[in-house]
Structure 1
Amino acid sequence: MPVACLQAVKMDSKICEILESMNKNMVEKFYENSQKMEENSRKIEEKLLENSRSLKEEIRTSIETQIKIVQEETQTDMLNFKEEICESVKDKIEEVQDKLKQKLKKNSRTIEDKLEKKLREKIQLFEERINQMNCYGEGSVTSEDLIMDHLPWSTYYKQFEAAATVNGWSNKQKATSLIVFLRGEENYELLILRLEIKYEDSYLQQVYQAQTKSRVQKAAESLQEFDADIARLTRFAYPTTSDDFLK
């Protein structure tokens, strides 16, 4: 074989060895680089995972903090709102109470005025009726005025007592007037009966009549109580008088 061919063969063999060595080195290098890349990738993933966990924890903590702040602010706002509502309701209640008190006070004054007016009218009417029944002025007692044969004794007795009370007759004047009246009757039994009626309970009636005339409203007494007591005294003062007349 020529020398040139041998050299060429050796050259090719050398080149193959070099290429094979380079290929082997490249494979090893590639494998090594791959291992490094995998390691780096794993480290990066671990780092990312760690960072992710830390980030999640930070986010969670931040969210919880914000929620707590919002809750506290909301609670504070609710308390302030409740206080405002309570204050507003309290003011409204006080306003309504003041209006009711003023209205009740006004109505109370109106009722008292009406009752007082009605009571005065009743007293005035009662006095007018008594005056209408009074036929016996002091110092003008005559047998013509007192001898009223056409009236029954009970009716005359009511008129006699009413007239005596209104005119303020003394017992002597009342006795004189009664004697003059009795002169018109000559019936002994009737005379005794009239005297019994006259002096049985008349002193109590006279007391009630005097109380009725002098009764005034007390400081702590309401008009209703005063009116009721006047009605009570009037019935005791004139027990035989009809309720229609007393009213």
Structure 2
Amino acid sequence: MLESDHREESRNDACEEYISARRKIFVIGDIRDLNPSHRKPVTTASIITLVSEVGSSTSELLLVEKEHDVKTVVQLREELQKRSLVTSGNKEVLVARLREALIDEGKNPDEFKFDGADEDNEISTGTFTTAKMMELLLSMSTEIKQIKEQSERQSERQTEDLKQIKEQSERQSERQTEELKQIKEQSELQSERQTEELKQQIKEQSERQTEELKQIKDQLKHVKLEVAEQIEEQSTRIEMIEQKLDRQTVEVDHKIDKLKRELEQSKKMAMPLDHASGRTLKVPAFDGEMSWNVYKTQFEAAATSNCWNGKERATALILALRGSAAEVLQTIPAENHFNYEVLRFGELFKAIFDLFVDVVIAIDFERFKS
């Protein structure tokens, strides 16, 4: 509720209380003035006529009465304030408080008059004449009319203000609705852009991953082909080496057979040694390059011619070894160094034969590589 409306409502309430009390005084006063013999008798019709002359609106009379009542309350508070008394409370409380103060001062409360308020005192004591009442009612009617006009103007202003507020509220609501609509559209556009960007990023990422996966598959395929080619090449080389070794083994076997035949022929052709002459045949050196069987045949011939026993033959054989053939002695235990049978048919023979085979294979492999 606006402040002006609140004041208007408070003023109307006060006027209603005041005019109720004033109407009683008015009727009593009018009756007192009309009761003497030189006055016309008071009738209900005369009272109604008098009231109708004041105005057809009872509310206007009540408003004036209320204003007078408010004025009386103000005067009561002024008198109490002059005496440094409490000024709070309604009219009845203020009147009772002022009566006590007047009694304490030795004054008669019924004869007390407010300063500059003779007219009001006349009204309150019931000595209000018809002429004065007419004058007061006319004044009250004018004031009521002015108040009514002010109230109408105030109401019109309030109506206009409310209309403007309503229009402003409607315009504000329309602006807010439009702004919300724009925000919603912008949000939808932003969401669509973000969704499209996200889809594009996902698509590009998927394409990159697909391309990388394809490259990895191609690399793996290429590596598999290279490994397969290398395995095939190594398998071919190994097969060729195995075939070469098989051929070399066959050739070695043929050479061994040939050497055996040559050894047999050498034994048959060997001449007995003439011990009387005192000559000793020199044993040839063995470096591993010639066939062991051939060398053994020659060594046996010389040892037989020199009439060596087993120990002498073992000593002569050890002294005849050269180079890599001499290194073979390291693989033979020391207690067998002078055991000719072991050296001839055992470990020395096996070691020298293996050495011979290794040398032949190495030579053939170098030829194969070149």
- TM-score scaled to structure 1, two decimals? 0.47
What TM-score do the two structures reach when normalised by structure 2? 0.34
Q: Taking CA–CA contacts closer than 8 Å with sequence separation of 6 or more, which of the two structures ends up with the larger relative contact order?
A: 1
Determine which structure has more spread, i.e. the larger CA radius of gyration: 2
